[in-house]
């Protein structure tokens, strides 16, 4: 058991309000029972002994019903893991509520990253935003090519904040979601050294302004249907055993609350974007009021946002004050309207609300140009092996270069095959860039000799 804290807003949260009062108490008890990763043994007997040790009138079956409420509302994600295949609960937003100065390593097995339901849970937790570039991740896998860039580069993957090569774990605090291309482009380097791949920037921009009709049809048609069906099947298969093991017949705590919990789950899923509030310091809150914007179910003949609409000077001033890029947010604003099928009646008012609700993202670290003194002294005849250049120095000498694309036979094998290929190819590529950068320095040295 550990000392935990909770915010005053806890008592006014609509999800919390949908719980039975005893379920709220049980939820707080799980915080104390959980380790510093937010993992807790998901056993009604265990949790009853913690939360209701002196309440003989509350049975194990009653506690099981209260646990179901926490799971149905998405407050706790339940999975099986370990040799004994025991049930473990992960308090999804545990670290958003708890600030732990000296966290201890988790002892329970973390959620398996190979489970599609686990991946989707992390995506919901992170607001479907890539933790590397800050752009939104499509909720369903994309296929097709736009401007020579495969849209699969934007698809959802889980990424370790501290890579496995640096002894990073699979525990929730070290896991975040990312675009497939962003995760691959990072190549095990620190998050602060990440630079967004040109392919991701191109694909995001093209989706924001609309893709070709054929690609759009394929995304909204058979691909979307098949993907959503497979995701639904995999999620239901992976959790069916868990749900059967924790579901109990209605009891005196769940009979009167099941309808309110179901309604709250439905509301929270339909309004998932609006729940990503700035209150937690991450994500985007898109709360466009009815009188300002929304007409749902628009036909394909309608224009979501007029094509000639642009941010006003007032918008740009507001964006600057809030540390945002007005043009970038305008692209995301258009993409959101199109993705949700909404006709914006007053784009100026709606975009102002968008800017007010959007939280500034962590800026990517800008690599400064090295001062002349930071480059090693290289003469016209200095051998390559005597010169050591950092990646930043090489980038400044040669400019940013896209790594070579994998061969077709490698790309056909998927991301695992591409990662394996790059593990072998990256050394040769970096060695070649290093040699070319040294050659640039030798040419500069020779030019100085001639000039003197």
The pLDDT value recorded for residue 60 is 92
Q: DSSP letters along 188-238, please?
A: T--GGG----HHHHHHHHHHHH---HHHHHHHHTHHHHHHHHHHHHHHHHH
The pLDDT value recorded for residue 342 is 65
pTM (2 d.p.)? 0.51
List Cβ neighbours of 149 (8 Å cut-off, separation of 6 or more): 199, 202, 203, 206
Strand order in the sheet with 76-81: 39-41, 86-91, 76-81
Q: How far is CA 31 from the centre of its chain?
A: 24
Cβ 293 vs Cβ 344: under 8 Å: yes
Q: Check pLDDT > 50 for residue 217.
A: no
The pLDDT value recorded for residue 419 is 75
The pLDDT value recorded for residue 250 is 53
Cβ 388 vs Cβ 431: under 8 Å: no
Q: Check pLDDT > 90 for residue 122.
A: yes
pLDDT category of residue 211 using cuts at 50, 70 and 90: very low
Give 26-63 pLDDT, tens digit per residue: 999 999 999 999 999 999 999 999 999 999 999 999 99
Percent of residues, the chain, with pLDDT higher than 90? 23
Q: Check pLDDT > 50 for residue 289.
A: no
Q: Check pLDDT > 60 for residue 260.
A: no
Cβ 194 vs Cβ 362: under 8 Å: no
Of the ranges 113-117, 205-209, 329-333, 373-377, the best mean pLDDT one: 113-117
Give 356-366 pLDDT, tens digit per residue: 777 665 544 44
């Amino acid at each position: 058991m550990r000392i935990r804290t909770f915010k005053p807003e806890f008592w006014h949260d609509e999800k919390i309000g949908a719980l039975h009062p005893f379920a709220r108490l049980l939820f707080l008890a799980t915080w104390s029972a959980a380790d510093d990763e937010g993992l807790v043994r998901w056993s009604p007997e265990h949790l009853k002994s913690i939360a209701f040790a002196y309440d003989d009138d509350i049975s194990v079956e009653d506690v099981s019903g209260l646990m179901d409420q926490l799971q149905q509302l998405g407050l706790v994600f339940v999975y099986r893991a370990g040799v004994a295949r025991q049930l473990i609960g992960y308090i999804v937003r545990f670290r958003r509520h708890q600030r732990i100065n000296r966290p201890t390593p988790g002892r329970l097995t973390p959620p398996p990253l190979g489970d599609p339901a686990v991946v989707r849970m992390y995506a919901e937790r992170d607001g479907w935003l890539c933790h590397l570039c800050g752009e939104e991740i499509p909720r369903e896998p994309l296929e097709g090519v736009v401007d020579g860039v495969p849209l699969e580069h934007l698809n959802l993957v889980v990424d370790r904040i501290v890579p496995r090569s640096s002894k990073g774990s699979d525990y929730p605090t070290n896991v975040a979601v990312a675009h497939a291309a962003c995760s691959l482009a990072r190549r095990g380097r620190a998050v602060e050294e990440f630079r967004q791949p040109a392919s991701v920037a191109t694909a995001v921009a093209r989706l924001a302004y609309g893709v070709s009709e054929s690609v759009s049809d394929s995304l909204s048609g058979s691909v979307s249907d098949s993907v959503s069906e497979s995701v639904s099947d995999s999620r239901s298969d992976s959790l069916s055993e868990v749900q059967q093991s924790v579901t109990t017949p209605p009891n005196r705590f769940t009979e009167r609350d099941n309808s309110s919990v179901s309604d709250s789950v439905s509301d929270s899923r339909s309004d998932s974007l609006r729940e990503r509030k700035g209150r937690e310091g991450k994500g985007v809150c898109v709360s466009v009021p009815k009188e300002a914007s929304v007409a749902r179910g628009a036909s394909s003949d309608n224009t979501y946002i007029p094509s000639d609409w642009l941010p006003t000077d007032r918008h740009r001033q507001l964006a600057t004050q809030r540390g945002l890029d007005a043009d970038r947010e305008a692209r995301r604003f258009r993409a959101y309207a199109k993705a949700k099928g909404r006709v914006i009646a007053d784009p100026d008012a709606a975009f102002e609300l968008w800017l007010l609700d959007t939280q500034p993202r962590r800026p990517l670290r800008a690599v400064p140009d090295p001062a002349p003194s930071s480059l090693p002294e290289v003469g016209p005849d200095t051998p390559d092996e005597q010169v050591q250049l950092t990646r930043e120095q090489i980038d400044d000498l040669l400019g940013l270069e896209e790594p070579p694309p994998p061969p077709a036979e490698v790309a056909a094998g998927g991301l695992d095959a591409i990662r394996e290929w790059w593990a072998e190819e990256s050394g040769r590529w970096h060695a070649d860039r290093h040699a070319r950068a040294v050659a640039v320095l030798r040419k500069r040295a020779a030019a100085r000799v001639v000039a003197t």
